[in-house]
Structure 1
């Protein structure tokens, strides 16, 4: 068993840094792992993934990027059966519905109407109750999760009630909105694809 390894994930687009770390952990059963990344989205995604595999993680700024140091006790089990959010999945008897919000407008035609419809949808989606399992925001949809969003309070209430909200880190970085995000977990395409596989129903809007 290799005890330690250093990975350089700088310059890699999402979800490549997480996939690199996942491959190293699962193939080599590492106790110590140092990962270099060059953006905040990768920092959050790699940290969350390592923690889901029972590694203690610390990070420091270095130049234009970050260095993560992950450590796992030798007798700690390697966890591979977590769900996409990095937590144990409780038994679910109701259908698991995954909703991907890909824009800040619903439908095409009149943009003002589209924005009103999207806000109405977000405020009304709570009526799905426990059937709603994941709410994922990508592309222009991430703008609904920032500090100026008219539905921020609604989304924060959903999250406090237990709904897992995932927000695309690559999209936040593209729009320079990482610091403005106020709700949800910064995520990557690996998390999104995994959640789609686990869901009973996938709905895409926007």
Structure 2
């Protein structure tokens, strides 16, 4: 089976996300991802390499057609370390450790968190990444009140990562609908390499 992903004009990390979903949706065949910049080409190729899949890149008219040949089953892959630099993000990582904002009444905290996530979509430059740990992983999953806001941030190049161990603990991994699954090593690396980190 062959699939095509037209990722021209998409901000990082969307070309990788859509390519990953296309690969997961077929048992075997070729996924062709079309991108229009070298950074996206490198990131998509890096994804294929992390899955041990053969790639072929054809260049023409300022575009890259990346053919990825899937000939074996693949496990769910954790989000790879992408090189995203589109000038719209500051070097800020926000770590969200709860599904409510602040202490006190839980219902108020949920309202405040929804307002905070929405405000992030309205203020530029965007953060480089959002990392969800502990009960914060309740936010990027199906049924959350902030899914649309998180999708807006992701569409504008903000990397969205959730702690895999936390998703497992709360039995939410199958319900994750925005962003990728990460591990503590990657989370520590993201936090250490950022110029600024905010923890909520």
Which TM class, normalised by the smaller chain length? 0.5 to 0.7
Q: Which runs of 5+ in 1 are unaligned?
A: 1-47, 69-83
Q: How does 1:36-75 map to 2 (within 5 A)?
A: 51=46, 54-57=49-52, 60=73
1:152 aligns with 2:147: yes
Q: How many residues align?
A: 138
Change (3 A) 1:194 1:91: farther
Residue 114 of structure 1 corresponds to which residue in structure 2?
Answer: 109
Mapped partners of 1:104, 1:94: distance in 2: 24
Does the CA-based 8 Å contact 1:60-1:67 persist in structure 2? no
- Structural RMSD (CA): 3.0
Residue 176 of structure 2 corresponds to which residue in structure 1?
Answer: 181
TM-score (norm 2): 0.60
* 1:191 alignment partner, SS class: helix
* 1:57 alignment partner, SS class: coil
1:71-115 alpha-carbon deviations (Å, 9 max, x no partner) = xxxxxxxxxxxxx84223538697411100100111111111111
* 2:197 alignment partner, SS class: strand
Mapped partners of 1:89, 1:67: distance in 2: 22
Does the CA-based 8 Å contact 1:101-1:141 persist in structure 2? yes
Mapped partners of 2:85, 2:114: distance in 1: 31
1:53: Cα distance to partner? 9.5
Does the CA-based 8 Å contact 1:85-1:191 persist in structure 2? no
Change (3 A) 1:60 1:193: same
TM-score (norm 1): 0.58
Q: Which runs of 5+ in 2 are unaligned?
A: 1-42, 54-71
Residue 201 of structure 1 corresponds to which residue in structure 2?
Answer: 196
